[in-house]
Amino acid sequence: MRIAVTGKAGQVVTSLLERGVAAGHEVIALGRPELDLVDPASVVCALEAAAPDVIVSAAAYTAVDKAESESDLAYAVNGAGAGAVAQAAKARGMPLIHVSTDYVFDGTLDRPYVESDATGPTGVYGASKLAGEQAVLAVHGDNSAILRVAWVYSPFGANFVKTMLRLAGDRDEVSVVADQLGNPTSALEIADAILLVATNLVADSNPALRGVFHMTASGEASWADFAEAIFAGSAARGGPTAQVKRVTTADYPTTVKRPANSRLDCGLIAKVHGVALPYWRQSLDSVIARLQPTAN
């Protein structure tokens, strides 16, 4: 398959390049300056030139707190930009995989969210990503799969795992929120799953394969659980470690309120695409192994 993905150095983009090429696919990463999501003409031009079999829309404005003061830019990239990618996919008559987020929900439910649950983003980032989903569905809904992922980490870019390992290098104790639950998900596993979904979309026009899907690692954790697992994995390899001080959301105020419950039910994608991501601790271990190789 020839796969075009938006973005160049993002976690999901870099993971898709690694896993896609390893699986024998041709993966073309299209980012700034040739493809800038705020410039629809550049989006059309870059995707036309790439002439892929499938497009993966993975680039996004991802600065959750900063989005509050840069809402025009967040909406231009995540809303209108996502729509421009969908237009280009429609014009070429090719399937689109659009990556979205758990932040489309407000996190007040007491069970994992299913795709049909009401959305209700608590900030500009989530609202702009929801606008992107709506644009994709309006423009090219009959040939798109929207994959909502969450709590993404990887050996690449900036993420919670790398932040925790850095903090463990210079302090003995780290305060981490223990009353928000989610599904820590490796971008490398997301990439593998995107390849499966892409293969299905290219091979089969069945409408059941299109639409909105939740796609995270299996198993759940709080941020504090996640941090403890990171430190345990690092310590086991002789790397930096720290104690986790379990705190509440109220102890750790952020510009945008994070959902207390970010858990996503991934039953639908398992059923229709045959995609089930591994247990989060298993994937975490392999990412830590890459970030923190043993000394000997």
Provide the token pair at 123.
């900030």
**Choice between 225 and 241, CB closer to ligand NAP:** 225
CB 85 within 8 A of CB 47: yes
The verdict on 267 binding ligand NAP (CB under 6 A) reads: no
Residue 291 sits in the site that holds ligand NAP (CB under 6 A): no
Binding flag, residue 13, ligand NAP (CB under 6 A):
yes
From the list 113, 125, 153, 252, the catalytic residue is 125
Catalytic residue status for 125? yes
CB atoms within 10 A of CB 28: 17
Would you say 11 and 159 are in contact if contact means Cβ atoms under 8 Å apart?
A: yes
Q: Does 11 bind ligand NAP (CB under 6 A)?
A: yes
Among 50, 56, 58, 124, the residue binding ligand NAP under the rule CB under 6 A is: 58
Among 20, 31, 79, 141, binds ligand NAP (CB under 6 A): 31
Nearer Cβ to ligand NAP (91/158) = 158
Half-sphere exposure of residue 5, counting CA atoms within 13 Å on the CB side?
Answer: 29
Closest to 160 in 3D by CA, of 112, 226, 244: 226
Q: How many residues does the chain have?
A: 296
Helix (H) or strand (E) holding 81: helix 81-92
256 burial type by CB count under 10 A (0-12 exposed, 13-18 middle, 19+ buried): middle
Contact between 10 and ligand NAP per CB under 6 A: yes
Binding ligand NAP (rule: CB under 6 A), the pick from 1, 23, 38, 80 is 38
Maximal CA-CA distance, the chain: 55
Out of 16, 61, 168, 233, point to the residue binding ligand NAP (CB under 6 A): 61
Is there binding between residue 37 and ligand NAP (CB under 6 A)?
yes
For residue 231, give Cα distances in angstroms to 22, 119, 155, 228.
30, 34, 15, 5
Q: Rank residues 129 and 258 by Cβ distance to ligand NAP and give the closer one.
A: 129
User: Which of residues 157 and 267 has its CB atom nearest to ligand NAP in the complex?
Assistant: 157
Does 120 help bind ligand NAP (rule: CB under 6 A)? Answer: no
What are the Cα distances from residue 167, in Å, to 243, 265, 291? 11, 31, 14
Residues marked as catalytic:
125
> Which residues contact ligand NAP by CB under 6 A?
6-13, 31-32, 35-38, 58-62, 77, 99, 101-102, 129, 149-152, 157, 187
